[in-house]
Chain A
Amino acid sequence: MNLAATAPLEAARALRAGKAHVLVNVFAVAWATQRGDMLGGPGQFHAQERFKRNLEVPFGWFPQPVYFASIARRHMHEYGTRSEHLGEIAVAFRRHANRHPGAVMHGRELSLEQYLARPMLCDPLRVEDCCLISDGGAAFVMTSPERARDLAKPPVLATGVGEARSRTGTWWAQQPDFTATPQVFSAPRAFAMAGIAPGDVDVLTLYDPFTIAALMQIEDMGFCGKGEGGPFVAEGNLRFDGGSLPTNPHGGMLSHAYVLGIAHVVETVRQLRGEAHAQVPGARVGAYGGYTGHMASTLVLEKG
Chain B
Amino acid sequence: MSEFPLPELEWEGTRPFWEAAAREALVIPRCDACAAWVWYPRECCGACQAEGLTWTPVSGRGTLFTWTVVHHAFAEPFAPLVPYATGLVALAEDPAVRLATLLVDCDPASLRVDQPVRALFRRLPYGGREVVAPLFTPA
A174 to B40, CA, bound (A): 8
Query: Given known contacts A60-B102, A62-B75, is B69 in contact with A120 (CB within 8 Å)?
Result: yes
Question: Does B55 make an interface contact (CB < 8 A)?
Answer: no
B-facing residues in A76-101 (Cβ within 8 Å): 77
B1/A59 in contact, CB under 8 A: no
CB of B105, distance to nearest CB on chain A (Å): 15
Question: Does A228 make an interface contact (CB < 8 A)?
Answer: no
Query: Given known contacts A37-B74, A70-B68, is B87 in contact with A57 (CB within 8 Å)?
Result: no
CB of A64, distance to nearest CB on chain B (Å): 9
A176 to B14, CA, bound (A): 22
Residues of B within 8 A of A (CB): 1, 4-8, 11, 13-14, 17-18, 39-41, 65-72, 74-76, 78, 81, 84, 86-88, 96-102, 113-114, 124, 131, 133, 135
List 14 contacting pairs A-B, 8 Å CB cutoff, sorted by A. Answer: A37-B76, A39-B1, A47-B4, A50-B8, A54-B14, A54-B17, A57-B5, A57-B7, A60-B78, A62-B74, A66-B74, A70-B67, A73-B66, A122-B69
Pick from B14, B41, B102, B113: contact of A59, CB under 8 Å: B102
Pick from B7, B68, B135: contact of A54, CB under 8 Å: B7
10 further contact pairs, Cβ within 8 A, besides A37-B76, A73-B66: A38-B74, A53-B7, A54-B13, A57-B4, A58-B5, A59-B100, A121-B71, A122-B68, A174-B98, A178-B65
Secondary structure class of chain B's binding surface, majority of residues = mixed
A55 to B113, CA, bound (A): 21
In the assembled complex, which residues on chain B have CB atoms less than 8 Å from the CB atom of A120? 69, 71
B70/A37 in contact, CB under 8 A: no
B-facing residues in A38-75 (Cβ within 8 Å): 38-39, 43, 47-48, 50-51, 53-63, 65-66, 69-71, 73-74
Pick from A65, A74, A119, A176: contact of B66, CB under 8 Å: A74
In the assembled complex, which residues on chain B have CB atoms less than 8 Å from the CB atom of A51? 13-14, 40-41
| Number of A positions contacting B (CB below 8 A) | 39
B4/A59 in contact, CB under 8 A: no
Residues of A within 8 A of B (CB): 37-39, 43, 47-48, 50-51, 53-63, 65-66, 69-71, 73-74, 77, 119-125, 171, 173-174, 176, 178
Across the A-B interface, the 3 shortest Cβ-Cβ residue pairs? A69-B68, A61-B100, A60-B86
